[in-house]
Structure 1
């Protein structure tokens, strides 16, 4: 390109280093004539003579020496930049950006991230907590975590957790005051803590199964939120019933803070998956995360 400001700079630097067109040509793998023509074209473009040429030697002019003083450090920076790109190809490093739902924090990130940062200190991790579906390509994320059925079909998805069985939960105090629903239809006489989708703004209808048939119930309630953690905490506070993934309520049920109802009617969904574009899987930082997640998954079994 005639207007390329870098055109001829490599030849200039090599001739300046060797003080010889012939030696520079050998280093660059071209003919001395080609080097001479490149330097002449650079001098013409700059409007200055950069070298004094005699039959015995090639020397920098005052302008050439000043130009070299400014250009050589920049050239070293560019060389270092190319070498660093090689590091990105060969070892995990850089910044790993993930978008995840809140429920993935205790289930996936808490056991994974401390070990990942210890094993790969050159990789910084940035987490964006968002229960809504996120276009990772559009928003500049390397990968995301979502329930399997919510992952776009054009993404590679790697399982992180077992399948999820949904749960209707309430506190012992709530059940002591209002009783327990025996069927999904009984929910119309209870207080639900409802979930609103952040993107569509619609309120989630609780899903159930009976005799092989799927159906949903629009459970009424005076509190609506778009965050699973709030649904969990408000259920523990006795404000009503929440519909949540069993993976996220396991601890609260084990300690007695929450109790399950309607278990025979609850469906199962695919578990949590790490998803990313196919072209991203060659990144060492993402590959390292996948390998460690798989190792932790095997240790849990």
Structure 2
């Protein structure tokens, strides 16, 4: 029976990673041994579970059915084992977090540092990604996104105040071009874009003035997937950038950047930490969520 479970774990890991080499490294076995394990499972079941090519591995229809049947059960076992670790004084394990570079620097990483020093056996994998990641499918424990980006079936806890987005440019850039006086005139400027990987699209610039909401798609020489590079490019005079206001306020106060269309800056619901409602959280995940939400102090009204 133990070998049967090992076969299933091997298949499940390959099916998720879609790569024998990565799956073998994750399981701590050789690629050839893992390949034999999966082949033995296929032989025993009399079904082909994986389609193999020289470049990729993907589950067959039968493999997808098996994966959807066994994955939730193994996750329940893992969660139960993690919860047992809570009986000790030293929670252990790895917590995988998907967030964005701005949220990681502004809210997540500063609050995790004391926790990591307190619990040396706790490991954190922090992945910065502007895509709207499916944390269940991609096996993340928690995500951190703006409140209106969190799916309704998730448990979500606010960890930051509302976030205002701003348009900025350097004085040198603005002196060389007429300023944009309306959102429509942004299309006449060299704008610095942010790419969204999951949609393979550029982030539209969402603007708001009173009850008017607009989305503007802009063009320019530069596209990044990192807001800190966008800040650097705007400081260097390469054009207008659409960025979190908190991130660039110090540069504006120092005269290195200027606001553009300030009366159109929109405000969004602040960042939340979220995780699946149907999954029992491990002690490690609970500690991380507590650390992130403890750092947020709601403003008194």
What CA distance in whole angstroms lies between the structure 2 residues aligned with 1:84 and 1:183? 54
Moved more, 286-295 or 239-248: 286-295
CA deviation after TM superposition for structure 1 residue 224, in Å: 2.2
What CA distance in whole angstroms lies between the structure 2 residues aligned with 1:198 and 1:278? 26
What CA distance in whole angstroms lies between the structure 1 residues aligned with 2:123 and 2:159? 21
Is residue 108–residue 292 contact of structure 2 (8 Å, CA) maintained in 1?
no
Q: In the TM superposition, what are the counterparts of 1:20-169 in structure 2 within 5 Å?
A: 86-88=84-86, 92-169=91-168
SS of the aligned residue for 2:123 comes to strand
CA deviation after TM superposition for structure 1 residue 299, in Å: 9.8
What CA distance in whole angstroms lies between the structure 2 residues aligned with 1:178 and 1:122? 55
What CA distance in whole angstroms lies between the structure 1 residues aligned with 2:96 and 2:241? 31
SS of the aligned residue for 1:282 comes to coil
SS of the aligned residue for 2:243 comes to strand
Per-residue CA deviations over 1:126-152 (Å, capped at 9, x if unaligned) read 111111111111111110111112111
- For 1:265, the equivalent position in structure 2 comes to 264
What CA distance in whole angstroms lies between the structure 2 residues aligned with 1:156 and 1:147? 14
State TM-score, norm by structure 1.
0.66
- For 1:228, the equivalent position in structure 2 comes to 227
What CA distance in whole angstroms lies between the structure 2 residues aligned with 1:105 and 1:254? 24
Is residue 112–residue 291 contact of structure 2 (8 Å, CA) maintained in 1?
no
Is residue 142–residue 280 contact of structure 1 (8 Å, CA) maintained in 2?
no
Give the number of equivalent residue pairs.
223
What CA distance in whole angstroms lies between the structure 1 residues aligned with 2:170 and 2:112? 31
What CA distance in whole angstroms lies between the structure 2 residues aligned with 1:4 and 1:126? 30
CA deviation after TM superposition for structure 1 residue 86, in Å: 2.4
Is residue 167–residue 245 contact of structure 1 (8 Å, CA) maintained in 2?
yes
What CA distance in whole angstroms lies between the structure 1 residues aligned with 2:87 and 2:280? 12
CA deviation after TM superposition for structure 1 residue 89, in Å: 5.4
Is residue 205–residue 217 contact of structure 1 (8 Å, CA) maintained in 2?
yes
SS of the aligned residue for 1:297 comes to coil
Is residue 191–residue 221 contact of structure 2 (8 Å, CA) maintained in 1?
yes
What CA distance in whole angstroms lies between the structure 2 residues aligned with 1:111 and 1:165? 21
Is residue 88–residue 94 contact of structure 1 (8 Å, CA) maintained in 2?
no
Alpha carbons of structure 1 residues 278 and 170: separation in structure 2 relative to 1, 3 Å? same
- For 1:243, the equivalent position in structure 2 comes to 242
What CA distance in whole angstroms lies between the structure 2 residues aligned with 1:272 and 1:299? 12
CA deviation after TM superposition for structure 1 residue 287, in Å: 1.5
Is residue 169–residue 241 contact of structure 2 (8 Å, CA) maintained in 1?
yes
CA deviation after TM superposition for structure 1 residue 211, in Å: 4.5
Gaps of 5+ in 2: 4-79
Alpha carbons of structure 1 residues 83 and 167: separation in structure 2 relative to 1, 3 Å? closer
Gaps of 5+ in 1: 6-81
Computing the radius of gyration from Cα coordinates, the structure with the larger value is 1
Alpha carbons of structure 1 residues 285 and 4: separation in structure 2 relative to 1, 3 Å? closer
CA deviation after TM superposition for structure 1 residue 274, in Å: 0.9
Q: In the TM superposition, what are the counterparts of 1:178-193 in structure 2 within 5 Å?
A: 178-193=177-192
- For 2:73, the equivalent position in structure 1 comes to none
